[in-house]
Amino acid sequence: MKDSEIIDLGRAIFGVFFSVGTLCLLGALVTKDDWFAGAGYLLIIFGVPVNLLCILGFLTYGVINTSKFKECMIAIGILLINIPIAIFYTAIGLNSLH
């Protein structure tokens, strides 16, 4: 795998989960429909293991192919950006329930 492909894969995984999370949050805030809130909750439930598996995959690949370790760490860093965003979105979603 090329260096740029590793980072692009990390960006793509980040982008998918960020986009779906944003869609769920905005859908819940705009429509006040509980379906969006439930979908956002399920996204957290299923997204955490998927992201952790991706991080583990990048880490394993980086350890096996030491020449790609730096790129794998960059991809892992990109994926880790989702954590504070998810916490922030969860706080907004929970505060909007009142």
DSSP string for 31-85: H--HHHHHHHHHHHHHHHHHHHHHHHHHHHHHHHSGGGHHHHHHHHHHHHTHHHH
Give pLDDT, residue 98.
63
Predicted confidence (pLDDT) at residue 2 exceeds the cutoff of 80: no
Handedness of CA 7, 81, 51, 16 (dihedral sign): negative
Secondary structure (3-state) at 27: helix
The token duo for 72 is 């794998």
Give pLDDT, residue 94.
85
Predicted confidence (pLDDT) at residue 3 exceeds the cutoff of 80: no
Summarize the confidence of residues 10-14 as an average pLDDT: 96
The model's pTM is 0.88
Over the stretch 28-49, which tens digit does the pLDDT of each residue have? 999 988 899 899 999 999 999 9
Over the stretch 41-92, which tens digit does the pLDDT of each residue have? 999 999 999 999 999 999 999 999 999 999 999 999 999 999 999 999 989 9
Largest CA distance in the chain: 51
